[in-house]
């Protein structure tokens, strides 16, 4: 993504890409590495010790952290970083295992709520220490407190939220 010639500083044709500087390329490849490699590294211990994918764990965890352990499916899809159809398939499996129940939102029937059962809560509580250990080892422990604050600021700037959930 870097150009063999000096970066375009805006003097070229309007449709000419503005090539990345070495510093920009380093930032971009660092982010790409995090986005592509970190999820698998966080998922491995969950798979090994709890039999859950990272997406499954995040789904259960996000529901468990809400009042009454229930959440709209659309909000849950955003929080777990998955499509509604992917989430629906996972929640269907969770329903079959007795971990989650779905029902219309009594405040607005156009939405569906996912509610964590006691059995589902036990699953996420049992898996949480594995996940927290991996998060600490892979993300938090290598960073200083200032690095952690910088990471939170950067994540907030780069985060996108669907309009219907804003």
Place of tokens 């789904």: 59
Most confident option among 1-10, 81-90, 96-105: 96-105
Around Cβ 49, how many Cβ atoms within 10 Å? Answer: 15
Task: Give the model's confidence band at 67: pLDDT under 50 very low, under 70 low, under 90 confident, else very high.
Answer: confident
Q: How far is CA 25 from CA 4, 7, 14, 21, 105, in A?
A: 13, 11, 21, 6, 46
Q: What is the pTM of this model?
A: 0.83
Buried/exposed 111-137: b ≥16 CB within 10 Å, e otherwise: ebbbebbeebeebbeebeebbeebeee
The per-residue pLDDT for range 10-20, each reduced to its tens digit, is: 556 778 899 99
């Amino acid at each position: 993504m870097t150009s063999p010639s000096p970066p375009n500083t805006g003097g070229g044709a309007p449709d000419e890409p503005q090539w990345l500087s070495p510093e920009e390329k380093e930032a971009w490849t660092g982010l790409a590495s995090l986005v592509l490699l970190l999820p698998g590294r966080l998922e491995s211990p969950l798979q090994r010790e709890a039999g859950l994918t990272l997406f499954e764990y995040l789904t259960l965890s996000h529901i468990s952290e809400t009042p009454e352990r229930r959440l709209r499916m659309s909000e849950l899809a955003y929080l777990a970083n998955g499509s509604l159809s992917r989430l629906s398939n996972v929640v269907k499996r969770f329903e079959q295992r007795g971990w989650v129940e779905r029902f219309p939102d009594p405040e607005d029937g156009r939405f569906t709520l996912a509610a964590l059962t006691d059995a589902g809560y036990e699953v996420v509580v049992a898996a949480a220490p594995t996940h927290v250990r991996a998060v600490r080892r892979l993300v938090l422990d290598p960073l200083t407190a200032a690095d952690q604050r910088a990471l939170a600021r950067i994540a907030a700037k780069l985060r996108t939220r669907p309009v219907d959930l804003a």
